Structure 1
Amino acid sequence: MEVSYVCQAASAPRPNDDFVIATESFVIVLDGATAPVGVDSGCVHDVPWLVARLGMNLAGLLLREPRAALVDVLRGGIAATMGEHADTCDLENPDSPSSTAVMLRCGAQTVDYIVLGDSAIVIERGVGASASASASASATELTVAHDNRTAHLPDYSVGGVSRLRNTDEGFWIASNRPEAADKAIVGSIPIGDVTRAALMTDGITRLVERYGRTWLEVLERMDKYGPREVVADVRGEELATPPGTYRGKVHDDVTAVFCRF
């Protein structure tokens, strides 16, 4: 698996809450959630600390147990990260630092994936044939794993989001509940069918959710011009959109990963 990526903060002065680890056999993408101003997270650490620790713990598990189910890897990574600050922080606090988590693993027989939180994985597969760069568009299909539960919450107030975090009525995310891994979107595809894939945080998925692109267009754009081009596309759309058009931040951290098989 050949991997290229861009991981960029929303603006130069602020830290990047996204995080990427990539090898020839797996990719991990995390998108940390910044707590609203004035909210006590009960944690002495910042979001970049959390995503770095979680990323390293997930990578360690994937390296030590390359055949483990990704749900088990994610559950173990969350638990291990909790153990690293249980003595200093209040892990019962519902506003404890959190992160989305997506992983793609290229195994001997299958390409496995898992998505928790509002990030996405898009996988192109050949239908009825082994993967090849020359597969025609008519003989391929896309598998899109996109957890968009945060787009359908009944309450977006600070208290409402806190109450709905890591509940079936709201959304699940990697934080202080290892069982959140059981709520993730998971799947496997025979490796011979997979041609290419893209992983992206919600800073990139807004190209589809807000700006009218299709998942295939985003994948094609990354393939032809590289992940940096879709980052430029996002920034251009953000600048061209009138303030107040959408809920949330005008600019977000962005991570775009392209994988070729």
Structure 2
Amino acid sequence: MEVSYICQAASDLRPNDDFVLAAERFVIVLDGATEPAGVDSGCVHDVPWLVAHLGANLAAVLAQEARVVLADALRRAIVATMCDHGGTCDLRNPDSPSSTVAILRWTADAVDYLVLGDSAVVVEYVGAGHAAGLTVAHDDRTAHLSDYSRAGVSRLRNSDEGFWVASNRPDAADKALVGSIPLGGVTRAALMTDGITRLVERYGRSWLDLLEGMEKYGPRQLVADVRAEELAAPGAYGGKLHDDVTAVFCRF
């Protein structure tokens, strides 16, 4: 297994809310939700603190238990991270710091994946008849909310009517997109935060395009591509012009 990645902040003027960790048998990608100005999260910690602790707790479970069910690993990592707050924070607050989660894990016979929140995992495989296909786990529930106001997003966070993220609800792990593919047929895979997936969602690229681009030119090329698209039409989609970006390419 060969893994290459890039994890880059949207700007040199603010911290990176993304997090990536690659080990021998798994890759973790997190994308912390940037806190809107004026919102009381009930927490004394910032988003980089959350993703660092959640990522470390998740890696500890995955490293120690090679075949743990991924949703179980995430649930335990959320619980451990809640304990890390040390009683200093109001973990009942719906605006408590949160993060998306993407995991790719390979065992002796399978490639397993989990996606929670608006990130993506893409796995290419070859079947018995040598026909290639793609499995795309893309949690786009944030693109279908009934209310995008600040209060609306707060109300819909971690609810079946809205979307789920890793924060102060361990049961969010049960809402993740999960799957498993026989290892023998897998050829390559990628994990991406929404700073990269907007190439598909906004700019007309395909998931296969992204895989091909990372294999030929490396994950850094996708950052150049998305930044060029953003600058070409800076007001087309509203919100922040640039986002933190993480792209991971895995060759089997």
Q: Tell me the TM-score range normalised by the shorter chain.
A: over 0.9
RMSD of aligned residue pairs (Cα, Å): 0.9
Shift of 1:86: 4.3
* 1:116-135 alignment runs, 5 A limit: 116-128=116-128
1:54 is matched with which residue? 54
The AA in structure 1 aligned to 2:44 is: V
2:27 is matched with which residue? 27
Give SS of 2:99's match: strand
Shift of 1:247: 3.4
Cα distance in structure 2, aligned partners of 1:179 and 1:150: 18
Give SS of 2:43's match: coil
The AA in structure 1 aligned to 2:105 is: R
The AA in structure 2 aligned to 1:249 is: K
Deviation string, structure 1 residues 19-70 (Cα, Å, up to 9, x no partner): 0000121000000001210000000000000000000000000011111000
Gaps of 5+ in 2: none
Shift of 1:249: 1.4
The answer to which of 234-243 and 217-226 deviates more is 234-243
Cα distance in structure 2, aligned partners of 1:252 and 1:43: 23
Cα distance in structure 1, aligned partners of 2:56 and 2:101: 12
Cα distance in structure 2, aligned partners of 1:91 and 1:153: 24
Assess if the C-alpha contact under 8 Å between 1:10 and 1:252 holds in 2: yes
1:217 is matched with which residue? 209
Deviation string, structure 1 residues 171-191 (Cα, Å, up to 9, x no partner): 000000000000000000000
Give SS of 2:94's match: coil
Cα distance in structure 2, aligned partners of 1:112 and 1:44: 35
Q: Percent identity?
A: 73
* 1:44-83 alignment runs, 5 A limit: 44-83=44-83
Tell me the number of residue pairs that the alignment of Structure 1 and Structure 2 aligns: 252
Q: Does 1:163 align with 2:155?
A: yes
1:152 is matched with which residue? 144
Give SS of 2:63's match: helix
TM-score under structure 2 normalisation?
0.98
Deviation string, structure 1 residues 98-120 (Cα, Å, up to 9, x no partner): 00001000111100000000000
The AA in structure 2 aligned to 1:182 is: D
1:192 is matched with which residue? 184
1:236 is matched with which residue? 228
Q: Does 1:207 align with 2:191?
A: no
Q: Does 1:104 align with 2:104?
A: yes
Give SS of 2:197's match: helix
Q: Does 1:253 align with 2:241?
A: no
Give SS of 1:4's match: strand
Shift of 1:162: 0.2
Cα distance in structure 1, aligned partners of 2:189 and 2:49: 28
Gaps of 5+ in 1: 130-134
Cα distance in structure 2, aligned partners of 1:197 and 1:46: 31
The AA in structure 1 aligned to 2:246 is: T
Cα distance in structure 2, aligned partners of 1:16 and 1:167: 27
